[in-house]
Amino acid sequence: MADGAPQSGISANRLEAEDYHANFADLYPPLDRHEAHVASDRCYFCYDAPCVTACPTAIDIPLFIRQIATDTPEAAARTIFSQNILGGMCARVCPTEQLCEEACVREAAEGKPVQIGRLQRYATDTLMAADVHPFTRAAATGKRVAVVGAGPAGLSAAHRLALHGHDVTILDAKPKAGGLNEYGIAAYKTPDNFAQREVDWLLQIGGISVEHERALGRDTTLEQLRNDFDAVFLGIGLSGTNALGIPGDDLENVQDAVDFIDQLRQANAKADIPIGRDVVVIGGGMTAVDAAVQSRLLGAETVTIVYRRGQDGMSASGKEQDHATHEGVHLKCNAQPVALHGDGAVREVEFEYTTQSGGQLVGTGERFRLPADQVFVAIGQTLGETGLELDGRKIAVGAGGRTTLDGVWAGGDCASGGDDLTVTAVAEGRDAAEDIHAMLSGGE
């Protein structure tokens, strides 16, 4: 790292080597046994517990916490995995403050919920560290199911289908399985190659083959899959991104935030990743926060998230916003980008303040510019072409994740309904698998 004033432009190696290690370490380190016991003692074992209702995968939280409290974390892990096979990742990335922990009655009582997420991690880590796969596959049925996409929805569906004895082939466009767990989540949320370790552990169920770098529409078609398999599950996520569509958005160093996060996750050395001195992130979701925080962790001097609506409209949770500001990210709300300026490479972003007028977001006419030698765009992702009937901008699905096309199910971010969360994708993949299983078993 150079002494003195930080250099403008984008540059790798802004920090000392050890800084990268510290910056990208586990954000919330695992609880040790003592901490887990203290935390588990706070659970009231509620009747028909609100935390379970709030969990998209409906994990029996009071039961697993009681199992931790009675020193059987392995049993707790089984309770978790029986509902959510990606319970390990969800323990790391779930916005628990908006789900189970928000519903915890101790949040109502004391403003301090039971640490459900960290307890879940304690239990799942314990079992996974022993490299135990807690489920045994049913006898082979001879039925074959194609799962497109090895993200949370696809992995969840594949595991449940394999559990029931079906043969599953997963096709994934990327070189590695995991989907957003591998490519789309901040590095400090899932260090130590956890996403790949989790995939390997999940595949121990057997009966699942994964074909990498096989993309729907490029290497195969839905029609082909329908012909070759007894059922098809689509967990293809949102492969496109929204563009800014304003003057200057083609300048150098203007990048999709998802690509930046992908690059960061796949980098051998974080120090190799060039980062701007002044970074602007446009958007208000988790992707914006992940990009902004990691920009700071790579050594950017100023990082500003600019969001076009008020702060309470941001889809990133309050906890995520607090984390961002704690890491030195500035939040600027009620401003929309109107142009990017620069000569070859971006140098400034011009914004216009916004206000609500008659239910519409409108510019006030007042403008300002922020210096930026790197801009990350995080204004939403879009579904790729599938040919399937849509509901809004996503694949229309009914009960059990059925699309309007016979033999085709969908779940996760690509499908209608539910939040775009890992845990929701897991639930939808699991439920679609059960529906497929019922169909393949001759239920209808």
Partner 1 sequence: MADLSINFAGIKSPNPFWLASAPPTDKEYNVRRAFDAGWGGVVWKTLGLDPHVVNVNGPRYGAIYGADRRLLGLNNIELITDRPLQTNLDEIKAVKRDYPDRAMVVSLMVPCDEKSWKTILPMVEETGADGVELNFGCPHGMSERGMGSAVGQVPEYIEMVTRWVKQNTRMPCIVKLTPNITDIRKPAEAAHRGGADAVSLINTINSITSVNLDLFAPEPTIDGKGAHGGYCGPAVKPIALNMVAEIARNPVTADLPISGIGGITTWRDAAEFIALGAGSVQVCTAAMTYGFKIVEEMISGLGQWMDEKGHTNIDAITGRAVPNCSDWQNLNLNYVTKARIDQDLCISCGRCFAACEDTSHQAISMSADRTFEVIDEECVACNLCVNVCPVEGCITMEEMKPGEVDPRTGRTVEAEPADWTTHPNNPASVAAE
Chain residues binding partner 1 by CB under 8 A are 37-38, 41-42, 44-50, 105-106, 108-109
Closest to partner 1 by CB, 49 or 202 = 49
Residue among 31, 11, 6 at smallest CA distance from 271: 11
Closest to partner 1 by CB, 46 or 338 = 46
Q: Is the four-CA dihedral 166, 172, 176, 179 of positive or negative sign? A: negative
Please, what is the minimum distance in Å from the beta carbon of residue 121 to partner 1? 21
Closest to partner 1 by CB, 51 or 306 = 51
Please, what is the minimum distance in Å from the beta carbon of residue 357 to partner 1? 36
Please, what is the minimum distance in Å from the beta carbon of residue 62 to partner 1? 10
Specify the 3-state DSSP secondary structure of 81: helix
If you ran DSSP here, which 8-state letter would residue 142 be given?
Answer: -
Please, what is the minimum distance in Å from the beta carbon of residue 122 to partner 1? 16
Strand 302-306 relative to strand 278-283, pairing: parallel
Q: How far is 238 from 379, CA to CA, in rounded Å?
A: 13
Closest to partner 1 by CB, 38 or 362 = 38
Closest to partner 1 by CB, 109 or 269 = 109
Output helix, strand, coil percentages for the chain, rounded to the nearest 5.
40, 20, 40
Closest to partner 1 by CB, 38 or 390 = 38
- Residue-level length of the chain: 444
Residue among 236, 254, 261, 241 at smallest CA distance from 183: 261
Please, what is the minimum distance in Å from the beta carbon of residue 223 to partner 1? 45
Q: Answer whether 416's CB lies under 8 Å from 73's CB.
A: no
The HSE-up count of residue 76 (CA atoms within 13 Å, CB side) is 28
Please, what is the minimum distance in Å from the beta carbon of residue 101 to partner 1? 14
34 phi, psi to nearest 5 deg: -60, -50
Please, what is the minimum distance in Å from the beta carbon of residue 227 to partner 1? 46
Closest to partner 1 by CB, 76 or 158 = 76
233 beta partners: 147, 409
